[in-house]
Amino acid sequence: MAEDVGFEPTIPCGITVFKTAAFNHSANPPRPRYSTTQRCVLTSNLDAFGRMWVMTDKDYMLMAIEEAKKSAARGEVPIGAVVVQRNTNSSDNNKLINTTETERVIATSGNAREELGDPTAHAEIIALRKAAARLGRWRLSDCCVYVTLEPCVMCAGAMHQARIERCVYGAPDTKAGALGTLYAINEDTRINHNFEVKPGVLQDECADLLRDFFKGRR
């Protein structure tokens, strides 16, 4: 038994996670590496070793990248978006795409302008619409939008109208970026809502998607 040699289980038996009595530190096995597909279908906030698994900005951006790849496969410009809500212990939890202790994914989308013939069908716009429909309200003040390309004026404006809490994007857009590159709608004090922006998460991976897509079209 582990107790006989100076170890004390930190959680119920059957999970191989221990701490030493003398040094009081965890002897956890390494965190498993999940594929993006596995991340999308997990509905428990425990990993394979029974420990709490907390998603990072990079994890959510990987999900957005998967949506962008789906768009490219449909002939759309590869841009993907994910909306994450801070967990409010909703009774809707059994329907979630993914859930953790503090937050949950409530909407995902890729670009769909060609498919829908709609100039407003950017990934962010569709994801915001899905999120609002899911929550039954337009105000998304407890939500963060992850998107592979810096939002344009239209999408940044929609985020302002939705009163989002935060936006995380991958690659900057030197021709249309409205969250820091050409404009900074998120921090314009003349309008009635500002929100946090974190740029450059998996920037190279996001930029490569676009570069490869347009290279193949030339």
- Active-site annotation, residues: 124
The length of the chain, given as a count of residues: 218
Please list, in sequence order, all residues whose beta carbon lies within 8 angstroms of the beta carbon of residue 39, skipping any fewer than 6 positions away: 55, 59, 62, 63, 98
Query: For the chain, percent helix, then strand, then coil, each to nearest 5?
Result: 35, 20, 45
Asked whether the beta carbons of 209 and 69 are under 8 A apart, the reply is yes
In the DSSP assignment, the letter for residue 185 is: G
Bridge partners (DSSP) listed for residue 144: 84, 166
Helix ranges, the chain (H): 36-41, 57-73, 113-116, 123-135, 153-162, 203-217
User: What are the angstrom distances between the C-alpha of 198 and each of 81, 121, 205?
Assistant: 14, 23, 16
Contact 154, 211 (CB under 8 A): no
Q: Which residues sit opposite 108 in a β-bridge?
A: 82
